[in-house]
Chain A
Amino acid sequence: MTQPAQSTSNPLLQLWRNQESRGVIIQIITMAVVFALLAAIARNVVINLEAVGKEFSFGFLLWPAAYDIGFSPFLEYTNQSTHLRAAVVGLLNTLLIAFWGCILATMVGFVLGIMRLSSNWLVSKLSYAFVEFMRNVPILIHILAIYAMVVTLLPPAKKALNVGADAFFLSNRGFYVPSPVFEDGATIVGVVLLISIVLVYFFKRWARRQQDDTGKIYPVLWVSLGILVALPGIAFVATGMPLSWDIPVLKGFNFKGGMAIKPEFLALWLALSLYTACFIAEIVRAGILAVSHGQTEAAFALGLRPNRTLQLIIIPQALRVIVPPLCSQYLNLTKNSSLAIAIGYMDITATLGGISLMQTGKEMETMLIVMGVYLVISLLISSFMNWFNHRIKLTER
């Protein structure tokens, strides 16, 4: 390797042989290549846009969108609204499906993961079969198949299934549920509810300090539940029950009143949650298996009952293993929600990246915004999860 004889004369070669200067050279070359590539792309974009007579600007966001969005639970939207408003409606729909998807996926995932570890052979195998089937089939097929099932198997609105109490109806137009109508005084109940939550928080802290100081254990769960139910309950009765339900009623070909959970939302929600739940199930299983059996035995030896062992020993340690991959599953779910476009659920990809793109011909601008939105959501979720992960981390010496 060391043959300095003929090379010492060449200063360039000498620079290359020196580790430090070689690093600098490689970095300069890298940056030069990257910037040359970016510059070439920028130049091509400018020339190509000019050739087709397009201009790079975000002004189109204020143009009227001129298309309908069937599902906008938070914002008023008509086809006279701007593209910007359509984009915001889409973003809110993305966040809505991601939020509810993560919740259902976590719940189903934990149940499946624990079922998989059950000592009952049949339960364990059922969970195994379900998990393996779901996660080895592409999510897009799940979405399309569940949507097809919802639309074709469920009856039309006129013959809607009465799921319960003449107030919940399932039809191929969606799942109709009563919506709450708040009257005067409902705010008082809300305030009382908030106060009771604060009370519970302080009671929990007090009980914990008492336990640390004296070893005495208070029934935190029951007292908390009591406070949470009793105080708002009393306020609710005292203000004269300021809440009524708007119950959906069949009028003509569709239901009036109540809230409708659209079939697109239902199908996407179920497909995303069940698919992600199967990955979460494997994570939960691995997490619980990662807690060595010695921990359980030690807890029993200390005289803890099985319930407390699970609560105080196993779950905290398993969570430490579970949370990081769980975070990436939440991210995956959010990113997979962009497949909504396949069944016409209007999320950000379908509104801004789909119809707005086609109508305005602003490929660059719309795709930049859509990608930026997903990047920000990803960053937010992962930083929240990092914070949470940091909180439950093992405090080592």
Chain B
Amino acid sequence: MSETPTNPRYAPGTHPDLPPPRRTTGALGWVRSNLLSSPLNVALTLLSVWLLWTILPPSIHWLFTGAIWTAVDRKECWALMDAPRDGACWAFIRGSFELFVYGWYPEPERWRVNLTFILFIAAIVGGLRENIPGKKYWLIFAAAYPFIAAWLLLGGFGLEPVGTNKLGGILLTLVVAVTGISFSLPLGIALALGRRSNLPALRGVCVIFIEFIRGVPLITLLFVASTMLTYFLPPGSTFDLLMRVLIMVTLFASAYIAEVVRGGLQGLSSGQYEAADALGLSYWKAHRLVILPQALKISIPGIVNTFIGSFKDSTLVLIIGMMDILGLGRARLNDPEWLGLAPELYIFISLFFFISCFAMSRYSLNLEKKLQTGHKS
């Protein structure tokens, strides 16, 4: 500030740069330009502040400061509060946490579930990190993961067998979601290629399949799985309900993946196809080396969005009586000890899904930016 000119006479072009007006910089400037730039904005800001003021303090009190974290049942919870229901009874969630995570998985075998979770994180990190040493082996591991997980969870081959009816809670949610996600990707790519094929019969079959699946709600497909899929199978064969549901979830997700991948295939310029043909590559070689790497790259955000969708859709199994995290939680609500603690339960489950899905969507956004190698407008 000391350099501020006192002498107004400068030769043309020699006047030193002045600092910007103080009202336009710093916190004050930010507030003026972002909150109070026009009468309408002043009104909107006041309205928002009022809204936050009425919602936030009671919510924070209910969620944190007034909440009870340890108690044996809801009566004790409420006795510990200033007034019953004055705060959240998180003791309910803490008390049921093991059940929510493992379902009815036998206690001594739970290390297998933990190992599955750890390998899951390893497969995700190893499969997605760009510059990780031994990338090829990580990818093979990620592709083999569903089978390793199935072996670990269900047993056999040296491990104590565990029935699929013992799976529940977050474990079941993850089983449904991860199976749907990992098997729908190859199936979806195949369907997309079939739909783009120039063989009318092949194309017709794929189009009918995709449009049929996309035209009906997932819940009707789950009803089919739970009530009538056994009629489709050879007489006498019994088929586990979980397996039937997994098949339906996979088929459902694959139709959506197919449409996303088709978008990616259409997004490629025809020059790429022509160039591959000109090089004399066969159909499969052209797709493996030229078309699919580019098409999949464009469709990654869409694929991740489909994954988010199928993760959220995994809650629907509750309607046909399977105990995923939502079903198990609702069953727990009928427990006389914790009767009527629905808000706590729904907040906990919402948070679980929000964190997982939000992380996935952030990742996809990040990837979208990183993959943007084309022209920027």
A residues adjacent to B (C-beta < 8 A): 1, 23, 26-28, 30-31, 34, 40-41, 44-45, 47-49, 51, 118-123, 126, 132-133, 136-141, 144-145, 148-149, 152, 335-336, 338-339, 341-342, 349, 353, 357, 363-364, 367, 370-371, 374-375, 378-379
Judge whether B196 is part of the interface by a CB distance below 8 angstroms: no
Chain B residue nearest in CB terms to A147: B342
Chain B residue nearest in CB terms to A51: B235
Q: Which of B198, B234, B358 is within 8 Å of A136, CB to CB?
A: B358
Q: Which of A51, A121, A137, A374 is within 8 Å of B215, CB to CB?
A: A374
Task: Judge whether A363 and B217 touch: CB under 8 Å.
Answer: no
Chain A facing B: main interface SS: helix
Judge whether B289 is part of the interface by a CB distance below 8 angstroms: no
Question: In the assembled complex, which residues on chain B have CB atoms less than 8 Å from the CB atom of A145?
Answer: 342-343, 346, 350
Question: In the assembled complex, which residues on chain A have CB atoms less than 8 Å from the CB atom of B318?
Answer: 140, 342
Judge whether B280 is part of the interface by a CB distance below 8 angstroms: yes
Task: Judge whether A371 and B216 touch: CB under 8 Å.
Answer: yes
Question: In the assembled complex, which residues on chain A have CB atoms less than 8 Å from the CB atom of B292?
Answer: none
User: Beyond A136-B358, A371-B220, A375-B215, is A27–B232 a contact (Cβ under 8 Å)?
Assistant: no
Question: In the assembled complex, which residues on chain A have CB atoms less than 8 Å from the CB atom of B326?
Answer: 138, 140-141, 144
Task: Judge whether A367 and B201 touch: CB under 8 Å.
Answer: no
Chain A residue nearest in CB terms to B228: A363
Task: Judge whether A123 and B48 touch: CB under 8 Å.
Answer: yes
Q: Which of A119, A141, A336 is within 8 Å of B41, CB to CB?
A: A119
1/0 per residue, CB under 8 A from A, across B314-332: the answer is 0110110000001000100
Task: Judge whether A138 and B315 touch: CB under 8 Å.
Answer: yes
Task: Judge whether B217 and A338 touch: CB under 8 Å.
Answer: yes
Chain B residue nearest in CB terms to A370: B220
| Complex-state Cα separation, A34 to B353, whole angstroms | 38
Task: Judge whether A123 and B44 touch: CB under 8 Å.
Answer: yes
Question: In the assembled complex, which residues on chain A have CB atoms less than 8 Å from the CB atom of B346?
Answer: 141, 144-145, 148
| Least Cβ–Cβ distance between A335 and chain B, in angstroms | 4
Task: Judge whether B217 and A335 touch: CB under 8 Å.
Answer: yes
Q: A118-B44, A136-B354, A138-B326 are in contact. List 10 more A-B contacts (CB 8 A).
A: A41-B232, A118-B41, A119-B34, A120-B48, A121-B35, A133-B350, A342-B318, A363-B231, A364-B228, A374-B216
Using a Cβ cutoff of 8 Å, how many contacts connect chains A and B? 152
Chain A residue nearest in CB terms to B47: A123
| Complex-state Cα separation, A229 to B198, whole angstroms | 58
Judge whether B121 is part of the interface by a CB distance below 8 angstroms: no
Question: In the assembled complex, which residues on chain A have CB atoms less than 8 Å from the CB atom of B228?
Answer: 363-364, 367
User: Beyond A119-B41, A364-B228, is A137–B200 a contact (Cβ under 8 Å)?
Assistant: no
Task: Judge whether A30 and B312 touch: CB under 8 Å.
Answer: no
User: Beyond A34-B205, A123-B48, is A341–B235 a contact (Cβ under 8 Å)?
Assistant: no
Task: Judge whether A374 and B41 touch: CB under 8 Å.
Answer: no
Judge whether B154 is part of the interface by a CB distance below 8 angstroms: no
Q: Which of B200, B342, B354 is within 8 Å of A27, CB to CB?
A: B200
Question: In the assembled complex, which residues on chain A have CB atoms less than 8 Å from the CB atom of B200?
Answer: 27
Could you give 30 example pairs across A and B, Cβ below 8 Å? A30-B202, A31-B201, A41-B232, A44-B235, A118-B44, A120-B34, A120-B41, A121-B34, A122-B34, A136-B312, A136-B353, A136-B357, A136-B358, A137-B312, A137-B357, A140-B316, A141-B315, A141-B326, A141-B350, A144-B330, A148-B346, A152-B340, A342-B318, A349-B217, A349-B220, A353-B220, A353-B223, A363-B228, A363-B231, A367-B227
| Least Cβ–Cβ distance between A41 and chain B, in angstroms | 5
| Complex-state Cα separation, A156 to B174, whole angstroms | 39
| Complex-state Cα separation, A31 to B200, whole angstroms | 11
Judge whether B83 is part of the interface by a CB distance below 8 angstroms: no
User: Beyond A141-B315, A141-B346, is A48–B230 a contact (Cβ under 8 Å)?
Assistant: yes
| Complex-state Cα separation, A119 to B34, whole angstroms | 6
| Complex-state Cα separation, A363 to B226, whole angstroms | 10
Question: In the assembled complex, which residues on chain A have CB atoms less than 8 Å from the CB atom of B44?
Answer: 118, 120, 122-123
Task: Judge whether A47 and B235 touch: CB under 8 Å.
Answer: yes
B residues adjacent to A (C-beta < 8 A): 34-35, 37, 41, 44-45, 48-49, 51-52, 198-202, 205, 212, 214-220, 223-224, 227-228, 230-235, 280, 282, 308, 312-313, 315-316, 318-319, 326, 330, 340, 342-343, 346, 349-350, 353-354, 357-358, 361
Chain A residue nearest in CB terms to B233: A44
Q: Which of A30, A48, A335 is within 8 Å of B235, CB to CB?
A: A48
Most B CB within 10 A of own CB, among A31, A119, A122:
A122
Task: Judge whether A374 and B217 touch: CB under 8 Å.
Answer: yes
Question: In the assembled complex, which residues on chain B have CB atoms less than 8 Å from the CB atom of A364?
Answer: 228, 231
Task: Judge whether A122 and B315 touch: CB under 8 Å.
Answer: no
| Least Cβ–Cβ distance between B169 and chain A, in angstroms | 15
| Complex-state Cα separation, A364 to B228, whole angstroms | 7
| Complex-state Cα separation, A282 to B155, whole angstroms | 45
Question: In the assembled complex, which residues on chain A have CB atoms less than 8 Å from the CB atom of B319?
Answer: 140, 339, 341-342
Q: Which of A44, A118, A140, A148 is within 8 Å of B315, CB to CB?
A: A140
Task: Judge whether B205 and A30 touch: CB under 8 Å.
Answer: yes
Task: Judge whether B219 and A339 touch: CB under 8 Å.
Answer: yes
Chain B residue nearest in CB terms to A337: B217
Question: In the assembled complex, which residues on chain B have CB atoms less than 8 Å from the CB atom of A123?
Answer: 44-45, 48
| Least Cβ–Cβ distance between A308 and chain B, in angstroms | 19
Chain A residue nearest in CB terms to B349: A141
Task: Judge whether A126 and B48 touch: CB under 8 Å.
Answer: yes
User: Beyond A27-B201, A44-B235, is A379–B350 a contact (Cβ under 8 Å)?
Assistant: no
Question: In the assembled complex, which residues on chain B have CB atoms less than 8 Å from the CB atom of A339?
Answer: 217, 219, 316, 319
Task: Judge whether A137 and B354 touch: CB under 8 Å.
Answer: yes
Task: Judge whether A349 and B219 touch: CB under 8 Å.
Answer: yes
| Least Cβ–Cβ distance between B284 and chain A, in angstroms | 13
Q: Which of B48, B218, B219, B280 is within 8 Å of A341, CB to CB?
A: B219
User: Beyond A30-B201, A367-B227, is A122–B45 a contact (Cβ under 8 Å)?
Assistant: yes
Task: Judge whether A137 and B353 touch: CB under 8 Å.
Answer: yes
| Complex-state Cα separation, A324 to B49, whole angstroms | 36
| Least Cβ–Cβ distance between A27 and chain B, in angstroms | 4
| Complex-state Cα separation, A48 to B354, whole angstroms | 44
Task: Judge whether A375 and B231 touch: CB under 8 Å.
Answer: no
| Least Cβ–Cβ distance between B29 and chain A, in angstroms | 13
Question: In the assembled complex, which residues on chain A have CB atoms less than 8 Å from the CB atom of B224?
Answer: 367
Task: Judge whether B353 and A26 touch: CB under 8 Å.
Answer: no
| Complex-state Cα separation, A367 to B312, whole angstroms | 24
| Complex-state Cα separation, A379 to B212, whole angstroms | 10
Question: In the assembled complex, which residues on chain B have CB atoms less than 8 Å from the CB atom of A149?
Answer: 343
